[in-house]
Structure 1
Amino acid sequence: MWPLLKVGGGTGTDRDSAIVASISARVGSIGDNRLGGWHSYRSSKSALNQLTKTVSVEFARKKDPIVCILLHPGTVDTDLSKPFQGNVPEGKLFTKEYSVQKLLCIINNAKKSDNGKFFAWDGQEIPW
């Protein structure tokens, strides 16, 4: 798969880099963990974050024209979030369409310098 991404990535300029965007969650951030809980979900997202960071370092070291980023979609109105929606601040529960629109904006504006970064739906960088 990586060789195909390199071909699709072109010359390595910001516009020509292939983008690998993975959906993570803020709860996967070790630096942003202030509440604990959600052990299995946090662990799985932290593992995804580590994998993404690791391959982003390898791509940069090899000067491959591939940018790996992580995305936090916010709290989206889905079956998964139903039990927790009562704790979501007003205006912070998003439709699927809104979240996807915001994430696509981040993907479409990703640059080589964003390789290995973790972004929230609003474009703010999340600590690892």
Structure 2
Amino acid sequence: MWPLLRVGGGLGTERDVAVVANLSARVGSIGDNRLGGWHSYRSSKTALNQLTKTISVEFGRKKDPIACILLHPGTVDTDLSRPFQRNVPAEKLFTKELSVQKLMNIINNTKQQDNGKFFAWDGQEIPW
């Protein structure tokens, strides 16, 4: 897989970097944890975040044109989020399509210097 990623940014595209984007959640951020709770879900996302960070360090060390990033899709109208939606303002409850559009915008604008970063749906960087 690594050899394909190394050339992935240049396979007939205008991209200069291949992007590995992992779907996380803001609750996986240790630095942004002000509410506690959601122990299992939070822990699983934090583990994904650590794995992503570790891989991004390896990509950076090898100086390959690969950026490994984390994405927080926001609150998406799904069965999983339904029990928690009553506290979400309508303008921050996204359809699946809108969430994907916002995340694809981030992916399509990712540069090599974004390797190892964690982005929210609106492009804001989230602390680890």
Q: Give the TM-score range, shorter chain.
A: over 0.9
Where does 1:55-70 land on structure 2 (aligned, <5 Å)?
55-70=55-70
Structure 1 residue runs of 4 or more that deviate by more than 4 Å after TM superposition: none
So what's the TM-score if we normalise by structure 1? 0.94
State whether structure 2 residue 87 is matched by structure 1 residue 77: no
Structure 2 counterpart of 1:89, one-letter code: P
Paired residue total: 126
CA displacement, residues 8-27 of structure 1 (integer Å, 9 cap, x when unaligned): 234xxx93211000100000
Q: How big is the alpha-carbon RMSD for the aligned residues of Structure 1 and Structure 2?
A: 1.5
Secondary structure of 1:32 counterpart: coil
Q: What is the SS of the residue equivalent to 1:36?
A: coil
Matched, 1:49 2:49: yes
What's the secondary structure of 2:4's corresponding residue? helix
CA distance in 2, matches of 1:93, 1:101: 14
Q: Residue type of the partner of 1:45?
A: K
Q: Which amino acid counterpart does residue 85 of structure 1 have in structure 2?
A: Q
Unaligned runs of at least 5 residues, structure 2? none
Seq. identity, %: 84
TM-score of the pair, normalised by structure 2? 0.94
- Aligned AA for 2:59? F
Partner residue in 2 for 1:117: 117
1:1-128 superposed matches below 5 A:
1-10=1-10, 15-128=15-128
